Structure 1
Amino acid sequence: MTAIYPTPRDDAPLVVFDFDHTLYDGDSGSHLFAWLIKRNPLRLLAALIATPLLGPLVAFLPTRRRGISGYVWIATFGLHRAREFNKVIDRYVLKHEADIRRRLLPVALEVFARHRAAGDRVVVATGAPPELARAILAFVAHQGVPVIGSEVGPFLGAVIATRHCHNEEKMRMLRERGYGEIDVAYSDSSADLPLLLAAAAPVVVNPKASRVDYFRQVLPPGTPVLNWGCVDRAGDPV
Structure 2
Amino acid sequence: MNAGPYPTPRDDAPLVVFDFDHTLYDGDSGSHLFAWLIRRNPLRVLAALLATPVLGPMVACLPTRRWGISGYVWIGSFGLHAAREFDRMIDRYVATHREQIAARLLPAALEVFAGHRAQGDRVVVATGAPPELARAILAFVAHEDVPVIGTAVGPRLGAVVATRHCHHREKMRMLRERGYGDIEMAYSDSSADLPLLQSARRPVVVNPKAGRVEMFRQVLPPGTPILNWGCRDRGGDPL
1:131 aligns with 2:127: no
For residues 139 and 233 of structure 1, what CA distance do their matches in structure 2 show? 24
1:97 alignment partner AA = R
The answer (yes or no) to whether the contact 2:123–2:147 under 8 Å persists in 1 is: yes
**Structure-1 residue corresponding to 2:69:** 68
**Structure-2 residue corresponding to 1:210:** 211
Cα-Cα RMSD: 0.7
**Structure-1 residue corresponding to 2:6:** 5
The answer (yes or no) to whether the contact 2:55–2:69 under 8 Å persists in 1 is: yes
- Per-residue displacement from partner, 1:108-154 (whole Å, max 9, x unpaired)? 00000000000000000000000000000000010110000000000
The 5 Å alignment of 1:50-129 reads: 50-129=51-130
- Per-residue displacement from partner, 1:140-199 (whole Å, max 9, x unpaired)? 010110000000000000001100000000000000000111000000000000000000
**TM-score normalised according to structure 1 size:** 0.99
For residues 40 and 16 of structure 1, what CA distance do their matches in structure 2 show? 37
**TM-score normalised according to structure 2 size:** 0.99
1:165 aligns with 2:190: no
2:230 alignment partner AA = G
2:83 alignment partner AA = A
Please report how far the alpha carbon of residue 224 of structure 1 lies from its aligned counterpart in structure 2 after TM superposition: 0.4
Aligned length: 238
The answer (yes or no) to whether the contact 2:16–2:124 under 8 Å persists in 1 is: yes
**Structure-2 residue corresponding to 1:236:** 237
For residues 152 and 106 of structure 1, what CA distance do their matches in structure 2 show? 30
**Structure-2 residue corresponding to 1:29:** 30
Unaligned runs of 5+ in 2: none
Please report how far the alpha carbon of residue 62 of structure 1 lies from its aligned counterpart in structure 2 after TM superposition: 1.4
Please report how far the alpha carbon of residue 61 of structure 1 lies from its aligned counterpart in structure 2 after TM superposition: 1.1
1:84 alignment partner AA = E
CA spacing shift, 1:38–1:215, aligned 2, 3 Å = same
**Structure-2 residue corresponding to 1:183:** 184
CA spacing shift, 1:2–1:235, aligned 2, 3 Å = closer
Please report how far the alpha carbon of residue 2 of structure 1 lies from its aligned counterpart in structure 2 after TM superposition: 5.7
The answer (yes or no) to whether the contact 2:58–2:65 under 8 Å persists in 1 is: yes
Q: Give % identity.
A: 79
**Structure-2 residue corresponding to 1:199:** 200
**Structure-1 residue corresponding to 2:222:** 221
The answer (yes or no) to whether the contact 2:3–2:114 under 8 Å persists in 1 is: no
Q: Secondary structure at the match of 2:201?
A: strand
1:19 aligns with 2:12: no
Please report how far the alpha carbon of residue 39 of structure 1 lies from its aligned counterpart in structure 2 after TM superposition: 1.5
1:26 alignment partner AA = G
1:23 alignment partner AA = L
Deviating 4+ runs (over 6 angstroms): none
Please report how far the alpha carbon of residue 51 of structure 1 lies from its aligned counterpart in structure 2 after TM superposition: 0.5
1:149 alignment partner AA = G
For residues 215 and 62 of structure 2, what CA distance do their matches in structure 1 show? 16
